[in-house]
Amino acid sequence: MARKARQLDSGSLLSITQRSKFGLFRDNDDREAMLKILQNTQDKFGYECYAYCLLDDQIFRLILDTKGRNISTIMSSILVAYTTYRKAEGKLFSGRFISKTLHSEQELQMEINTIHKETNSQYNSYCFHCQEARKPEQFKVSLNASVITFGDIDTTLSLKEAQTKLEDWMNQKGCDRSKLMKDKALRNQCIAEFRKTTNCSLKTIGLLFDISESSISKILK
């Protein structure tokens, strides 16, 4: 029987669990390799990593904000890179990853609490993506839960709500939709600001501006 295609989550904030049939991490060198792969894929796809745990020999867990990117593509890149590093014979990972959508700051914090064990290990930590930082020590920041703050994460805006926000933006800029669509520079500025302040999905933004998701993705790069 053919494998059923994974349905895309409507939200971009996800808790990920990936298992292995064998010893996934043989030692800390393997864990260092995985951290490097996570850094590289963050650079490539622009997602944010709120927490990770690589302590278990046969499981790793991540909490990611995909920023509208396809989670299957992100995970495929991570798994292929790690399998290549291990030069594994046969299938290293057992089945597809498990993903759980998080809908609020409270759910995010609760999920972090389930994976963050009482340890100072660098392989079980909070981390934040920063595209300007290339060195590992600048790339990851370990924090105590008491000092973590999160901005509002809104991944559930309806198209109607998004349209209302767009109208407010146009009013602030003193332009109408006709002018906005004719002026590509202004339109692209609006798309970038809209994405940053609302975190709407690429699909919703595409519907707002009557542009394909792939075109929205190029504008945001």
What is the tens place of the pLDDT at every residue in 135-157?
A: 333 333 343 444 334 344 344 56
- SS3 labels along 42-79: HHHHCCEEEEEECCCCCEEEEEEECCCCCHHHHHHHHH
Phi and psi (nearest 5°) for 20? -130, 145
Question: pLDDT band at 118, cuts 50/70/90?
Answer: low
- The C-alpha atoms of residue 114 and residue 124 are separated, in whole angstroms, by 11
What average pLDDT does the structure give for the chain?
75
Residue 16 has pLDDT above 90, yes or no: yes
Strand order in the sheet with 124-126: 98-101, 13-19, 59-65, 48-53, 124-126
Give the length of the chain: 221
Phi, psi of 24, rounded to the nearest 5 degrees: -70, -45
What are the beta bridge partners of residue 49?
A: 64
Which span out of 7-21, 33-47, 94-108, 173-187 was modeled with the highest average pLDDT?
33-47
- Whether residue 101 is predicted with pLDDT greater than 60 in this model: the reply is yes
Instruction: Work out the pLDDT band at 166, boundaries 50, 70, 90.
Output: confident
Q: Taking 60 as the threshold, does the pLDDT of residue 133 lie above it?
A: no
Q: How far apart are CA 221 and CA 213, in angstroms?
A: 13
More confident residue, 214 or 133: 214
